[in-house]
Structure 1
Amino acid sequence: MTSMRVPLFTELGLYLVGSLMIYQLQTRYNNLTDERDQLQTRYNNLTRERDQLQTRYNNLTDERDQLQTRYNNLTRERDQLQTRYNNLTKEKGHIQANKINISQCVHLCSSTGQYCQEGWRYFDSSLYFLSTEKKTWEESRQDCLERGADLVIINSREEQTFVFNLHLRAWIGLTDSVTEGTWKWVDGTSLTTGYWSAGQPDDRGQEDCAEIYFSKDDPVTTWNDDKCGTNHNWICENVV
C-alpha cells in the first residue's frame, strides 16, 4: 500500500492556523483579564463609595439625634421659663395687692398705734406683720415676700425693743448661711450691732438663722441662733 504524504504547504497552513488560534485565545484571555481587573477596580471603588455613604449616613443620624435632644432640652427650658414667668406674674399680683392693702392701713396705724388690718402693726415708718403660725426660716421669708415685705431688719435699740414687745419667739431677717460666722440681713447688709443673748450665737449643729426671744428679761439681749429648718413664728417688715 502506498503511503500518502501531506504536502509541505498543507503542514505550513495547519501551523499558521494553529498559531492564529493561539494568538486569538491569548488576546481574548488578555482582554478578559483586563475586563476582570477593571471590574475589580470598579467593585473596589463602589465598595469605598458605599462605606463613605454609610459613614455619612451614620454621621447625619447622630447629628439628627443630637439636634432632637437639643430641641427637647430647649422645649423643656422654655416650658420651665414659662412656668416661672407665670408664677412670678402671680407673685407680682399678690405683692401689688398686698402693698395696696398695706398702704390703706398706714394712716390708721400711724394715727392710733393700734393693730393694723390683717395682722400688721405700725412703728416708726414701718409696718410689721406678726404671724399666727409657725414655719421654717425660708418659708417664713417667702411668706413675707408674698406680702410685699421681708423678714424684719432691726436697725436700732428702739426697734429691737419694739420687736421684743410684740411678745413672740420669732424668726428675724438675719442669717450666716452663706458664710459661717458672717451674719447678714436679708437685704445683704452686714450685721453691725447685735442683740444676742449671753453665749450666742453658738452654732450648735449648723444653727444659721436668727430668732428673737420674748421670754428674756433684758429686751436688748434676746437673739438666738437656731437651725433654719425649725418651725417658728416670724415677723415681716415693710418700710413705708
Structure 2
Amino acid sequence: MFGVFAFLYKSKLNQLEINQTAILQENNLTQQKNNLTTELDQVKKINQELQTEKKNLTEQIESMKKTWNEQNVSRAQWSLDEYCRKDRNRQCNSCQKDWLQSQSSCYVVNDAEPKNQKTWEEARETCREKSSDLAVVGNEVEKTFLKEKSWVNSNINGYWIGLGAEGGRWKWIDGSDLTNQAWIQQQNATDGQCVTSLQNREWTSVSCTERNAWICEKKALTV
C-alpha cells in the first residue's frame, strides 16, 4: 500500500515539475516574443527615420542639381558674353576683353598701383579667381612677349610670374623646372624667393612677400 502511495506521489511530483517547466518555457517564449516585438518596433522606427532622411536628402540633391544647372547656364552665358560681342552678328574672340593673346594663351597685365599690389601668393589667388594662373613661360617667343608687356611704371618694380624657388631649384607653378638659367639674374634659387618680369631687364628674384604687379595666363579659346 505504501509503495502505491509513493508511486502516485512521485508521479504527481513529476507532473508538477513538467508543468512548472512548461510554464517557465511559456514565460520565456512570451518574454522573447515581447523582446522581438520591441525590437521590431525599434526597427520600424529606425526605418521610418531613414525613409524621412532619404526623402530630405533626395530633395536637397534635387535642389542642388537645379542650382548647379542654373549656375552652369549662367556661367555659359557669362563665358559667351565675355568672349563674344553682343550684337546681331555675334563674333567670338580667342581671349576675353582686356586679355592679350600670344600663341595659344591669353594674358592679362595687372599694372596695379602700390596700394593694390599683391604678394606672390595673393597675386596667384587673384589669377585663380579669373580661371587662370600666374604666367608660365615655355619658350623664347613667350618670354619676349611677356617682357614687352611688363610695362615700365614709376610705381611698379616688377610683375609677378609663375616662377619661384623650391628645394633650391627654380620651379614653375605647373611643377616643371626652369630650363634656361640665363633668363634670370639670380641663378641660385633660395626658398622664399619668387620672380618678377619688367621691360629692359632680365627676370629678377625677390622675396615672395613683397608687393608687386602681376600677369595672369589662361588657355585661349578655340573659335
Q: Give the structure 2 partner of residue 213 of structure 1.
A: 197
Name the CA shift for 1:59/1:150 in 2 (closer, same or farther; >3 Å). Answer: same
Aligned length: 202
Name the CA shift for 1:57/1:198 in 2 (closer, same or farther; >3 Å). Answer: same
Question: How many Å separate the matches in 1 of 2:96 and 2:27?
Answer: 91
TM-score by length of 2: 0.56
Establish whether residue 140 from structure 1 lines up as the match of residue 126 from structure 2.
yes
Contact kept in structure 1, 2:82 and 2:97, CA below 8 Å: no
Q: CA RMSD in A?
A: 5.1
Picking from 144, 148, 152, the partner of 1:161 is 144
Establish whether residue 93 from structure 1 lines up as the match of residue 81 from structure 2.
no
Picking from 109, 115, 119, the partner of 1:130 is 109
Contact kept in structure 2, 1:106 and 1:122, CA below 8 Å: no
Name the CA shift for 1:175/1:75 in 2 (closer, same or farther; >3 Å). Answer: farther
Contact kept in structure 2, 1:144 and 1:151, CA below 8 Å: no
After TM superposition, list the pairs within 5 Å mapping 1:60-75 onto structure 2: 60-65=44-49, 68-69=52-53, 72=56
Picking from 169, 179, 184, the partner of 1:192 is 179
Question: How many Å separate the matches in 2 of 1:230 and 1:71?
Answer: 52
Greater relative contact order (CA < 8 Å, ≥ 6 in sequence)? 2
Q: Which ranges in structure 2 are unaligned for 5 or more consecutive residues?
A: 1-10, 153-157
Q: Which ranges in structure 1 are unaligned for 5 or more consecutive residues?
A: 1-26, 108-115
Write out per-residue CA displacement over residues 178-231 of structure 1, whole angstroms, 9 at most, x where no aligned residue: x99583455x76653463341554222xx6xx542327x62xx31547649977
- Pick the structure with more helix per residue: 1
Higher radius of gyration, 1 or 2 = 1
AA in 2 matched with 1:153: V
Q: Give the structure 2 partner of residue 56 of structure 1.
A: 40
Name the CA shift for 1:223/1:81 in 2 (closer, same or farther; >3 Å). Answer: farther
Displacement of 1:74 = 5.9
Name the CA shift for 1:45/1:158 in 2 (closer, same or farther; >3 Å). Answer: closer
AA in 2 matched with 1:152: A
TM-score by length of 1: 0.53
- % of aligned pairs identical? 15
Question: How many Å separate the matches in 1 of 2:128 and 2:215?
Answer: 11
Q: Give the structure 1 partner of residue 215 of structure 2.
A: 234
Q: Give the structure 2 partner of residue 21 of structure 1.
A: none
Establish whether residue 170 from structure 1 lines up as the match of residue 140 from structure 2.
no
Picking from 174, 190, 194, the partner of 1:202 is 190
Name the CA shift for 1:39/1:233 in 2 (closer, same or farther; >3 Å). Answer: same
Displacement of 1:173 = 4.2
Q: Give the structure 2 partner of residue 120 of structure 1.
A: 99
Displacement of 1:52 = 1.9
Question: How many Å separate the matches in 1 of 2:128 and 2:190?
Answer: 26
Name the CA shift for 1:97/1:211 in 2 (closer, same or farther; >3 Å). Answer: farther
Name the CA shift for 1:82/1:224 in 2 (closer, same or farther; >3 Å). Answer: farther
Displacement of 1:132 = 4.9
Displacement of 1:50 = 0.6
AA in 1 matched with 2:179: T
